[in-house]
Structure 1
Amino acid sequence: MELETLFCYNGPGELLRNKRFILTIIVLIVVCAGLAILARTPLLLRSVAVLSAPLFGYDLNAESFFFSPLIKADFKGLTIADTRSKKFLFTSSQLTVNTTPKGVLKGDVEKVLLKDAKIRIRLGDKKETETDLSFIKNIPSVRLLTMENGEFTLLFKGAATQISLKKIELTVKDFSPEHGGTLSFTGFVSINEPGRSELSATGKCKGTLQLTGIFPDMLGKGIVELDIEAFTAGKISMKGMRFTMPVQFEKDQIKFLQSNIGIEEFMLMENGQKAVLKKSFIGINARYQTKTGNLASDNTRIVIPGVGSLNGSARLTLKGAMPINASLETKELNFSNLFSMAKSLMTQEEAKKWSIQGEGSLKGRLAGTLSGKSPSLSGSVTMDIKKGGFTSPDGSKAAQGINGLVIMNFTLPRGEKDASLKVSSRISSGEYLWGRYYKDLSKDRARFSTDADILTNSKAGSRFKGVCDLFNTGRYVYDGHFDKNGWQFHINAQDMAIKRIVSDFLSNYLAEATPSLKGIDTDGKLSADISMTSVDKKLAARGNVKLLAASLKLPAVSLDVKSLDMDIPFDLTAKGGVESGPKGDGPNLGWITIFGFRKGEYTLPELKIPVTASGSDITATGVISVPFYGGAVRVRDLAARDVLGTSPRLSFAGSVSGIDLPRLLNDLTGLTFPVP
């Protein structure tokens, strides 16, 4: 090979131009050499830090720095901080980046080593939180990234909650934005510090992910495991919770297949008492649509040993108003074991000794929104009870064979709006024992049913109204309210069948309790409109009681009342209490009228008694004169004092005149006494 150089001299001007060219080349060589030397000293990092803070808002600092062009960079004591919004902080005792000349040309990194790295991120509100992840596509490929003893801390603006991952051991192999990579990690997780917040958790986590793509869609599969040693949220605490979540990343969606949560011990605290569930299990299959924000689970299973298993589904959109729709169902619910766990929350020791029997099913539905301008939830719960019952500690009070259905529809708005609850219940059949009272209703088609509407407001208290059927004994309508100052209850009972109430429900009990009531026979219709009020623990009552065409027979004592009518309005208050309402124009005058009274040989054709129920007393006005064995018994000033107070009492004055004593004594003793 021949190299021929031609040099032509064209005078002094040409020579000057050549000198300038040579000088420029020399200056460039010197600058490059200086940069190469500068790159091996901390001066370069300091120069970058001076420019990065004002231009980009990040402060860059390191205790020492070594740079081998195109091959290696090593930082010790590195710190990167967000100087503007204070939302990001990164520190590492050592950061080493290795590559090759070939990798530099391709934009790849061979190895990255992070030791004692600490990352702290503070999230603001929705507007301040960055959600654009397009920067991922600009990250260079990394053959191997290793983090040793790392730490990640997540803070939230305006909240004391802090989520931390410590002692992180992280390995990422063959990473690239287009083809993903393999990731594995272990670490210890904590939420706040135990004892310093109502919400806290401690445990450990591990996981592996095999990704085939990251941006624009994360693709691949993996598994994440979370072991929580202790968890506390207000009155709820858990121990030994293990969460296993297989995950599959697909285009526009993430699937969680056969995820499960095992809870060794679940505790609910209330008034110093606690209820404990052991070895519970939750199984979940779910999917999340990344573009729409829809989270759906078509198969969720909750198993509570001894109580039953529940199956459900749910839909939740994690955007906008966050609409939710969920359902839950169980066909095998053991009320006995459920009560055994729940009664530990009771404060009365005697109540804890009771037992509950029965099985049944439960269905629940929930729908609504969790965010937006007017978030609210509504739904229903249906509970079917089979062979229910209860038993007191001494066995004197019990029931068995009770079948029933309870349906509850509810609305739970947020804020100051009223929450509503509609309750519909039907209870039929069963045997009941209450002390000396026993009744078998297993063959009676009548049932107890009620439909109630309840409205609750955090400031105004609660209001309710409803109707009731008490085993076909009458028609009952009720309403009322209660708040922090007191309560009010109103009931309107119409056409109460006295005969059915006494003969079907009370006759046997009355005969055993009082032998003179054996064979009791009654009839008549009773109606009552009663309003009870309690303010500062002082009672008041207002209303009216009517009894029409009532009759009474007591064969054991030869007593017979052909007809008894009663119409008594009343407006009563306890002494020192608040009146139940505005007073009328005059006193509440009522009447009790008795026709055809007979006791043995004694008869009383008619007796009419005026009654006034007002203020704190009930009084029989005037003089009550009763014909008695040829004479008369007169009672005056008959009064029941302070009937709603703590010390009610009865007072009256009476006189007897013109009585045929021999005949009276003869009827009482069976002996004949001479007539004077």
Structure 2
Amino acid sequence: MEILNLKIKKLKEGELFFTSPHVDFKGRIKMPFKGVVEKVKLTQPVLKFRFEKKNKLNLSFIKKLPPIHLLSINKGEFLLSFANSTQIIKISDIDLEVKDFSPEKGGRIGFNGNFKILSNNKAGITGEGNVKAQFKFSKFFPVPAGDGSLELYIKSGLYKSSSFKNLVLRFPVSVDKEKMVIDSISLNLDTISYRCDDTERVLRNLNLHSSFFYDFKTGTMSSYITEGKLSNLGGFKGSVQGTLRDNFPWSASLEASEVNFETVYSIFKPLFPPSYQKWFVEGRGLIEVHIKGDYTKKKPSWAGDMALYLKQGGFGSPDGTKAGQGIEGRVILKIRSPISEEKVNFELYSEVGEGEFLWRKFYKDFSGEKIKFNSLGSFFLKSPTILEFQGSFDLFGTGEYTYSGLIQKDETLFALKAQRISNNKILSIFKDYLSLNFPSFSNIQFDGNSQLDIRVIRKDGIISTEGVFEIKNTSLNIPNKSLSINQLNLVLPFDLLYPHSFGLIYNNSKNKTGYLKIGMFEEGRLRLEGLSIPIILSKNNLSIPEEVQISLFGGKVNIANFNGKEILSSSREFDFGLRIQGIDMNSLSQWLNGVNISGLVDADFPEVRCHENFLDFQGKAIAKIFGGEVEITNLSIKDVFSQSRNISGDVVFRNIDLEKVTENIKIGKMTGIVEGSIRNMEIEYGQLSRFILDIDSVERRGVQQKISVDAVENISILGTGSEDIGGILKSGIRSFFKEYPYSKIGIRCTLENDKFSVRGKIYSGGREYLVRRSFLRGIDVVNQNPDNIISFKDMQERIKRIFRAKEGKK
């Protein structure tokens, strides 16, 4: 201790007055005086303390203090540091006044000071504010007794990415030998904010009011109704009770009556994927929590329940294509942690329904309908933590659903069993969607039940799925499409891996074979009976282990060696062989477009491959029609499942009887034999988009070559757009002739980039002919404008003119 310029003055008998401008003291606090201190005044003292973690706070020195009538500190400073911590608490501008103090009789204490919480690194807590206190004690030992209040104001505080502003805590307290009462404690806070992904989230205007009671004799503690409010979340209230002795029983409750889900979502929004952070969420709710516990045999146990009620909930995506409104629901969670086991058991019940739901083109009004969900499980607290659960749910009354699962650090398992699924009830969920987007399916009927048994395992980044899906003795009817399927049976065992199975080694267990069986399939004039197809869906491959033969339109269709590889991958491939024998062309054409074309169709495609949405046919198909044959090769389909699918191929036709053609296609009677080809043919959106068509007549002994006036007129319309030649042929002496002989037909039509042209292939005397007359008699059809090019739309209009004229003549 160092004391400079000490002055001692005797005031009266037994009283001394000490003054010194400088006192430097280091060491333990010991009382050097005995007697009574009348007055101590300290100006600008600096007190420094270091709190060692191993030492306990010992206030027994207060017993040794002498009575003090007045202790005054002005402009003092207090510094507190901690072992193994960079935190420092600094209180400055301290004004402290202690009056009439003694360890036995208490005293009055008044305190005021500004404080700062400092940290030498960014990981610590920082803040600044002011603290005030007023206490009146009747004694300090053995148990303090008295009353007073503490007011703490923190202007701002910061911890990592979280901060708050303007916190005010008022803490009135009363203590006697039996109890401690903290009456009307209040906490007010302007803002709490935190930053996540460069986005700041803010909670505003927190208000909390409570009272607290503690009985020293019984160890009982309790809080009266605690009430609070966050302006952008809603109000809440609660209570706490307990006993700090024996097995420490305690209980607590909380109720938040007006939870704003829009604000709740804004707080947790950074945890969602970026695409969902621009969505809006709305709704109000009620939360109730009741929990109790104790501490028996040095182990805590507790149990409780939580209830969440949602009213008028809603959500929406930024583009408005996904939305929900008017959603009602409740969630009830019961939890229990037994003393003897290091786990938490839970029981969960939820019910959600009502409201309207929109997801892209799907819309459904769920008024009066609900999803119900029950679950039981355990959460094991030992490392590594494990979550086990099982339960059931009701999906709008569509069937019986049960599930179970296990979640741990390196592995997740989930099993679902769905039984007696009503196919029609499942379809009813999508009824409005089908009516709006697929009118022909609006009255679809799908009788009978289905069931699904599935098991999913996630491990090492791979998801494996196995199970079986079954549909038994059901029927499907689509009246608007005249389609019906009766006695439909499907048993499909499966085992799949995601994202792919490349490079994985499987066990040698035998693949399970399922089947698809159809008693009767009818679609318009199409009719199939007794269809049976074996199916293997295993290791991401789909295969048909046997050759399948289907009786169709009086012929047979054989599918062999069907195999689909990596069907869950974007690089999936399908390979099979296709053979068609003796299909009746008349039945096929009637089914396709309602016309009668006699003939037979055969095809042999030893290899058909589908890869990256491209279907390629190796082989050929031959249709024996119109007295000749039509051969199709190089057939392929691009973008198979798109409306813009592109169909391409080459067609060669031989020995086609024009008389039979013109009997079916009413463009005017013609006789003779033609051959030719359609090369580079492409069809997009169901219409021809590219081709080169060549037609040439071929002389055959005994076959006449004649062309009617109507046919000449229609060929002229197609080639030039003009009907003038018809007027010439129907006037004068020519009006007595209905047909003319010809010696040669040669026509080439081309279409590319919506540019259509018709050219003659016969050249003579500098002219281009489409049809050349016979030697003695006949008529020539000359292409007067060989360079004429029109759009394909105009060409279609010319064809419509021909058939409108035919309709008019009828």
Normalised by the size of structure 1, how large is the TM-score? 0.79
Q: Is the 8 A contact 1:540 1:577 kept in 2?
A: no
Equivalent pairs: percent with the same residue?
Answer: 27
In structure 2, relative to structure 1, the CA distance for the partners of 1:144 and 1:261 (3 Å cut) is same
Residues 1:72 and 2:17 aligned together? yes
Q: Which residue identity is paired with 2:27? A: A
CA contact (8 A) 1:141 1:174 kept: yes
Distance 1:316 1:169, change over 3 A: farther
Q: Distance in 1 between matches of 2:120 and 2:239?
A: 33
Please identify, of 307-316 and 621-630, the stretch whose mean Cα deviation from structure 2 is larger: 307-316
Cross-structure match for 1:129: 56
Q: What secondary structure is seen at the aligned counterpart in 1 of 2:425?
A: helix
Q: What secondary structure, in the 3-state scheme, does the structure 2 residue paired with 1:509 have?
A: helix
The SS at the match of 1:622 is: coil
User: 1:498 Cα shift?
Assistant: 0.8
Q: Summarize the Cα distance change of 1:346–1:575 in structure 2 as closer, same or farther, 3 Å threshold.
A: closer
| Change over 3 Å in CA distance of 1:371–1:525 after alignment to 2 | same
Aligned equivalent of 1:113: 41
Q: Return closer, same or farther for 1:370/1:171 CA change in 2, 3 Å cut-off.
A: farther
Match of 2:251 among 322, 325, 341: 325
Q: CA 1:578–1:411 in 2, change beyond 3 Å: closer, same or farther?
A: farther
Task: Confirm or deny: 8 A CA contact 2:377 2:387 kept in the other structure.
Answer: no
Aligned-residue offset at 1:304: 1.0
Deviations 1:377-421 (A, max 9, x none): 55332111122222222222222222211012346899x944555
Once residues 140 and 196 of structure 1 are traced to their aligned partners in structure 2, the CA distance between those partners, rounded to angstroms, is: 44
User: What residue is the counterpart of 1:576 in the other structure?
Assistant: 502
**1:156 to partner: Cα distance:** 5.2
Give CA-to-partner distance per residue, 1:308-328, whole Å, 9 cap, x none.
210101135567876542211
- Supply the AA of the counterpart residue of 1:487: T
Pairing 1:636–2:551 present:
no
Report the alpha carbon displacement of residue 256 of structure 1 after superposing the two structures with TM.
1.6
Alpha-carbon offset, residue 629 of structure 1: 0.7
Query: What is aligned with 1:509?
Result: 433
Query: Which residue identity is paired with 1:259?
Result: I
Confirm or deny: 8 A CA contact 1:66 1:74 kept in the other structure.
yes
Counterpart in 1 of 2:424? 499
Whichever residue aligns with residue 471 of structure 2, its letter is L
* Structure 2 equivalent of residue 39 of structure 1: none
Map residues 468-483 of structure 1 onto 2, 5 A cutoff: 468-483=393-408
| Paired letter, 2:51 | R
Give 1:129's aligned amino acid: K
SS of 2:544's equivalent in the other structure is strand
1:387 to 290, 300, 312: 312
CA offset at residue 373 of structure 1?
A: 4.1
Aligned to 1:512, what secondary structure does the other structure show?
helix
Mean Cα displacement is larger for which, 391-400 or 478-487? 478-487
Counterpart of 1:442, as a letter, is: S
Selected match of 2:332 from 392, 407, 427: 407
1:241 counterpart residue number: 167
- How many pairs does the alignment contain? 591
Task: Name 1:278's counterpart in structure 2.
Answer: 204
Q: Residue 224 of structure 1 aligns with which residue?
A: 150
Question: What's the offset of the Cα at 1:292?
Answer: 5.5
Q: Is 1:266 matched up with 2:195?
A: no
Does the alignment pair 1:186 with 2:131?
no
Contact (CA 8 Å) 1:189, 1:202: kept in 2 or not? yes
* 1:211 equivalent in structure 2: 137
Tell me: CA distance 1:401–1:196, structure 2 relative to 1, closer, same or farther (3 Å).
closer
Q: Distance in 1 between matches of 2:376 and 2:161?
A: 30
CA-CA distance at 1:130 after TM superposition? 5.1
Describe the shift of the 1:643–1:334 C-alpha distance in structure 2 as closer, same or farther (beyond 3 A): same
Structure 1 portions without partners, runs of 5+: 1-59, 83-87, 98-103
CA distance in 1, matches of 2:300, 2:81: 26
Amino acid at match of 2:397: N
C-alpha contact 1:518 1:555 (8 A) present in aligned 2: no
CA offset digits 1:179-230 (Å, max 9, x no partner): 3222111112344427543434322101212333333343332221111122
Contact 2:166/2:190, CA 8 A, preserved across alignment? yes
Q: Distance in 1 between matches of 2:167 and 2:210?
A: 15
Q: Is the 8 A contact 1:321 1:375 kept in 2?
A: no
Q: State how far apart, in whole Å, the 2-side matches of 1:566 and 1:538 are.
A: 28
Is the contact between residue 128 and residue 154 of structure 2 (CA under 8 Å) also seen in structure 1? Answer: yes
**In structure 2, what is the Cα distance between the partners aligned to 1:459 and 1:273?**
33
Q: Which of 529, 540, 552 is 1:616 aligned to? A: 540
In 1, the alpha carbon distance for the partners of 2:567 and 2:152 equals 65
Deviation at 1:271, TM superposition (A): 4.5
Given the superposition, is the C-alpha separation of residues 485 and 217 from structure 1 closer, same or farther in structure 2, using an over 3 Å criterion? closer
CA distance in 2, matches of 1:314, 1:579: 58
- Aligned twin of 2:759: none
Contact 1:242 1:261 in 2 (8 A): yes
Distance 1:151 1:321, change over 3 A: farther
Where do 5+ consecutive residues of structure 2 fail to align?
Answer: 600-626, 628-810
Amino acid at match of 2:228: I
User: For 1:51-450, what aligned pairs fall within 5 Å after superposition?
Assistant: 60=1, 62=3, 65=6, 70=14, 71-74=16-19, 76-82=22-28, 107-115=35-43, 116-120=45-49, 122=51, 124=53, 128-129=55-56, 133=60, 136-154=62-80, 162-193=88-119, 195-233=121-159, 236-290=162-216, 294-315=220-241, 324-339=250-265, 341-342=266-267, 344-346=269-271, 348-368=273-293, 373-375=298-300, 378-410=303-335, 417-419=342-344, 421-444=346-369, 446-450=370-374
1:594 counterpart = 2:518: yes
Structure 1 485/513 Cα, relative in aligned 2: closer, same or farther at 3 Å? farther
Q: Distance in 1 between matches of 2:456 and 2:273?
A: 28
Partner of 2:720: none
> What are the Cα deviations for residues 153-201 of structure 1, in whole angstroms up to 9, with x where unaligned?
4555665555443332211112123332221111123444275434343
Q: Greater relative contact order (Cα 8 A, min sep 6): structure 1 or 2?
A: 1
Task: Pick one of 546, 562, 565 that aligns with 2:470.
Answer: 546
Match of 1:530 among 423, 431, 454: 454
Greater C-alpha radius of gyration: 2
